[in-house]
Structure 1
């Protein structure tokens, strides 16, 4: 029997006084890759931020369960230490903090253990090479002056270096050319193993061409209205999201 990693149970969430998620249910087991598709305004980013504990989003009922424990009221930093990771749709620039220092500090904060600098640096260099990132970027300010594609690669670099149990990728393929999508997809495949899980949030399907997907879900108006396998991706590419709500 598959071991559950993340469970979303009948989740209702409001932001700025408006209900956005309206009884959402989702389970991600270890070793699985789940994809959440939906039109703009469906609630995808709200779900992502709620899973990570963003204070702007208020859970009015329901639960977020991670590895069998209720984390609905847990703070964001504690969720990160438990093994949750979010790749941002629009990564922020942080002048004065190098990529390497950011990663090393983050790794130490998550593991609560001293970082072995030589081994960490060696792993960082190897991972950057796999993502075709110039090693000089390790000394540059985090995302400062990076192109859109370089920022997205840097998000995948963080995922690979921090070794989360569940990685959530929010529109990671947005704005990437075909070559960059392939590199990011290779990073996703390198991350995957039998003990972790992946939730990809997107309204585009480019990255999905290169990723082995377990389940596909369609979010419309705050609820998952369809779930299926890769065939659902093809259906959406052909017909769009129109009419899916009626198929509940």
Structure 2
């Protein structure tokens, strides 16, 4: 059974005024087959958690642990984390001019699996993953994220998720910039993934609208670098109705 376990995680970043602590003791456990949603105001540390799990060099872990199936994630390089089964869908996917989607996907799959996929079956798998995300097969010949609309970038990320098949997906505001049609397509892609062999999903979002399509098992409210409260899906509905006011007051 897959388990991503985060214990008392403290993370800082360098600023002009010196180190600034962003995460101040985050503890979360995501088991295979579970979807956890993290909600919170801007600057509360949601994206910092995502990038720290993935190994972004800007974020320095000062204490705490992150393990995946008992293995120390923090001791792994970024590529080792991907091979271990972690996946990050970024809030702002970067452009990679001159690298086609097809080459990018095959290189990523080869790196994660340790061997290149068979070309004949791989092309079929890529076209199938793109089709499920309402992307034309010719999309694979475009440069990664170059000139993509917001919806195309996010649908491409979920096609990657489908093809790379990690153990745990960390989705950082995958719903941002999506219209209702693209939101449904992306949500369907995430739902297909999480139904496959008890996958874990950590979904970071500002809004409850995506949670109407991707039903979370647990909702965590982030405030000032900490988990202020955890609960079931009803907690997201409370946030929709009342905002973060009571959590912000409690953190002062």
- TM-score interval, normalised by the smaller of the two chains: over 0.9
Return the alpha-carbon distance in structure 1 between the equivalents of residues 213 and 134 of structure 2: 17
Alignment of 1:20-169 (within 5 A): 20-169=22-171
1:9 equivalent to 2:11? Answer no
What secondary structure, in the 3-state scheme, does the structure 1 residue paired with 2:74 have? coil
**Normalising by structure 2, what TM-score?**
0.94
Q: Check conservation: 1:226, 1:247, Cα contact below 8 A.
A: no
Q: Check conservation: 2:162, 2:189, Cα contact below 8 A.
A: yes
Tell me which residue corresponds to 1:242. 245
What secondary structure, in the 3-state scheme, does the structure 2 residue paired with 1:244 have? helix
Q: Check conservation: 1:24, 1:223, Cα contact below 8 A.
A: yes
Tell me which residue corresponds to 1:172. 174
Report the number of matched residues.
246
Return the alpha-carbon distance in structure 1 between the equivalents of residues 132 and 197 of structure 2: 21
Q: Which runs of 5+ in 2 are unaligned?
A: none
Q: Check conservation: 1:160, 1:187, Cα contact below 8 A.
A: yes
The range that moved more, 191-200 or 89-98, is 191-200
Query: In the TM superposition, what whole-angstrom CA distance separates every residue of 1:131-189 from its partner, at most 9, and x where no partner exists?
Result: 11111101111111111111110111111111011111101100110010000000001
The range that moved more, 188-197 or 106-115, is 188-197
**Normalising by structure 1, what TM-score?**
0.96
Q: Check conservation: 2:83, 2:113, Cα contact below 8 A.
A: yes
Return the alpha-carbon distance in structure 1 between the equivalents of residues 144 and 42 of structure 2: 28
Shift of 1:4: 5.1
Shift of 1:195: 2.8
Shift of 1:245: 4.9
Shift of 1:246: 5.6
Return the alpha-carbon distance in structure 2 between the equivalents of residues 227 and 185 of structure 1: 23
1:206 equivalent to 2:209? Answer yes
What secondary structure, in the 3-state scheme, does the structure 2 residue paired with 1:59 have? strand
Return the alpha-carbon distance in structure 2 between the equivalents of residues 102 and 12 of structure 1: 33
After superposition, the CA RMSD in angstroms is 1.3
Query: In the TM superposition, what whole-angstrom CA distance separates every residue of 1:214-237 from its partner, at most 9, and x where no partner exists?
Result: 111011000001111110010000
Q: Check conservation: 1:53, 1:73, Cα contact below 8 A.
A: no
What secondary structure, in the 3-state scheme, does the structure 1 residue paired with 2:75 have? coil
